[in-house]
Structure 1
Amino acid sequence: MAEPILKWAGGKRQLLDELYARFPSAFGRYHEPFVGGGAVFFDLEPARATVNDANPRLVNFYEQVRDRPDELIARLTSLDDPQSDPDPDLPHAEETARDREVDSYYYQQRARFNRRPYEGEFDPLEEAALLLYLNRTCYNGLYRENADGGFNVPIGRYADPDWVRRDRIRRASDLLADAEIRNADFAYVLDVAEPGDLVYFDPPYEPMSATANFNEYSASGFDREDQRRLLDVAGELDEAGVWVVLSNSGVMYDAYAEAGFRVDREDATRAINSDADGRDAVDEIVATNVPPAERREAGQRELPDF
């Protein structure tokens, strides 16, 4: 079985059973317009799929995993412990582009990652390796970008971090070989989904409160107008005979219920929180147009195709 390679905000490992209980017993092609860490995609292992994300660095990562897994593993193996001294043969061994002191290998690689789109020839393999390295060695595995698109998470504290992830990369590469990877707006799915296909939407959540606003895992963010557009897209897919399953925060319950979707509340523990004691269950919804009689059986792990 393939497994997620990255730790990603909003991951759905805790909701898999609840999501699968609302999937149709059979469907054509699978589409995931907000793939993120890919917890559902990798666990489901669909035979035919499109996966998409608005974050171009994440999309490049999956492309490199699919196309160059052995080269990616070799590049990751060459990286050093995050607490080590900076490599004097690499850029930013002493200070970042903003003249901040670099005191460890981690912060050197973070500075390189943030300057890669602007300095020299772009190397997509190095970009992918640095993304995974930082994800596995940063504080709490959190991916966060500032308004300029710069990765700004500090170093984590790990006794023996594993940033190579060779087995997961190889299994994911095999699965992604049969998937179409996109870097587009989520509405692309209106052009590719056919009647009988399944679309699973896992957007950045609408905040539960004014302070619960961790939905900006990329600099572009996802605002209320995007939430309205997503609701419209889900409605168009429903009218076109496409199966839809969607997760979001509890504040979106009424909007999807009023649009005619079957909506249930679920509790899920957030895996990413600055305070480990604060990883409490949060109110989420799962909305779907799949009637109960059309859903897969409880505990079913493989979905038959048309």
Structure 2
Amino acid sequence: MPQSKHRAFLKWAGGKYSLIEKINKELPKAKVLVEPFVGAGSVFLNSEYEAYHLNDINEDLINLYKILQTDSTHFIAEAEHYFTPQFNQEAVFYQQRERFNGSTDPFERSVLFLYLNRHGYNGLCRYNLSGKFNVPFGRYKAPYFPKKELQFFAQKAARATFTCLPFQQVMLQSPDDSVIYCDPPYAPVSETAYFTAYSKQGFGLDSQEELAQLALHASDKLGRFVLVSNHDTAFTRRIYKPAKLRKLSVSRFISQKGDSRKKVAELLAVYRPKA
């Protein structure tokens, strides 16, 4: 574990910054850390492995990471241009969101992805069924430009391989000397709380069950250590029954009203390979 914690440069629903110590305590030593759902990368940024395989189904996210890996100086200079009062206006935000949705250029989309993430409501990443980013304006006084966080990510990305593949493929093709950490879109705490629009593909209950089955397979058949994060519900306790479960209490900050941002119960499901 690094001596100082590093924040992700993206605002991220369900980010693992506050749980880093507890997650790292569970993760064993290995050559490679495999993350099929890397998200904003807090575990990557705050762990020490020789190499990383970082995957996500969100193509915009992975393209941004690849550009930072290979062209960080240019990217940071271009992105900083958008963190001025001129661009922190509602009409301008929606103009840039429309520009993002109409662009096919990976560099332009990556710069605008960071802008939309920091200026949009609560740092949400949400797409409609047509694949259009649809998060509204966030109305922040002065959105923070995460220059030092971008620079640290770019520096550490030299150890990483980034892919945009189905999680099943990533887990099944994990190398021998690796551990797997899964932070999927969370199962709903209630029937009205399901959020599946992180990518066009969504992540329903069938996907949750498939991930749990694959975690057990990777542990029992492939000899991998697998750690999975999720909400603590009757459903997740059922699908993770073969694993060792560790209960956590975590503050979440996605609710609109501050007084309703309560602690929620989460689980770490630990799958240890058979000796």
Asked if these proteins are the same fold (TM beyond 0.5), I'd say: yes
Corresponding residue to 2:253 among 254, 266, 271: 271
Give the TM-score of the pair, scaled to structure 1.
0.81
**CA deviation map 1:100-127 (0-9, x unaligned):** xxx62111111101111xxxxx321111
Letter in 2 for 1:276: G
Per the alignment, residue 15 of structure 1 pairs with: 19
1:187 aligns with 2:168: yes
Deviations 1:38-70, CA, capped at 9 Å, x for gaps: 111111143201000011111111111111111
Q: How does 1:157-176 map to 2 (within 5 A)?
A: 157-163=139-145, 165-176=146-157
2:93 is aligned with 1:106: yes
SS at match of 2:209: helix
Per the alignment, residue 60 of structure 1 pairs with: 63
Q: Which amino acid aligns with 2:99?
A: R
Q: 1-side partners of 2:88 and 2:205: how far apart?
A: 44
- Residue identity matched to 2:23: L
> For this pair of structures, how many residues does the alignment match?
267
User: Structure 1 runs of 4+ off > 6 angstroms?
Assistant: none
**Alpha-carbon distance in 1 for matches of 2:119, 2:182:** 29
Structure 1 residue 83, shift from structure 2 partner: 5.6
Q: Judge conservation of contact 1:82–1:137 (CA < 8 Å) in 2.
A: no
Please give the alpha-carbon distance, in whole angstroms, between the structure 2 residues aligned to 1:174 and 1:206.
33
Give the whole-Å Cα distance in 1 for the aligned partners of 2:40 and 2:85.
Answer: 22
Q: Which runs of 5+ in 2 are unaligned?
A: none
Query: Which residue is 2:123 aligned to?
Result: 141
What SS does structure 2 have at the residue aligned with 1:46? coil
Q: Distance in 1 between matches of 2:84 and 2:120?
A: 12
| Pairing 1:1-306 to 2, within 5 Å after superposition | 2-24=6-28, 26-79=29-82, 81=84, 84=87, 104-116=91-103, 122-163=104-145, 165-239=146-220, 240-251=222-233, 252-257=236-241, 260-290=242-272
> Equivalent residue of 1:21, what SS?
helix
Give the conservation status (yes or no) of the 8 Å contact 1:81–1:105.
no
> Deviation digits for residues 282-302 of structure 1, max 9, x if unmatched?
1211011249xx9xxxxxxxx
1:156 positional shift:
1.6
Query: Deviation digits for residues 211-260 of structure 1, max 9, x if unmatched?
Result: 11124322221011111211121011101211111111112012212xx2
- Structure 1: tracts of 5 or more residues without a match: 87-102, 117-121, 295-306
Percentage of pairs with the same residue: 35
Larger Rg: 1
C-alpha root-mean-square deviation of aligned residues, in Å? 2.1
C-alpha distance in 2 between matches for 1:136 and 1:130: 10
Contact 1:206–1:248, Cα closer than 8 Å, also in 2: yes
User: What SS does the corresponding residue of 1:44 show, helix, strand or coil?
Assistant: coil
Q: Which has the higher helix share?
A: 2
Does the 8 Å CA contact 1:82/1:105 hold for their aligned counterparts? Answer: no
TM-superposition CA deviations, 1:60-105 (whole Å, max 9, x none):
111111111111112112326466599xxxxxxxxxxxxxxxx621
What is the SS of the residue equivalent to 1:173?
A: helix
TM-score by length of 2: 0.90
Query: CA separation in 2, counterparts of 1:278 and 1:66?
Result: 38
Distance 1:19 1:75 in 2: 34
Contact 2:56 2:165 in 1 (8 A): yes
Change in CA separation of 1:184 and 1:273 when aligned onto 2, cut-off 3 Å: same
The one-letter amino acid paired with 1:107 is Y
Code of the aligned partner of 1:109: Q
Q: 1:107 to 1:81 in 2, by over 3 A?
A: farther
Residues 137 and 254 (structure 1 numbering): CA distance in 2 closer, same or farther, change over 3 Å? same
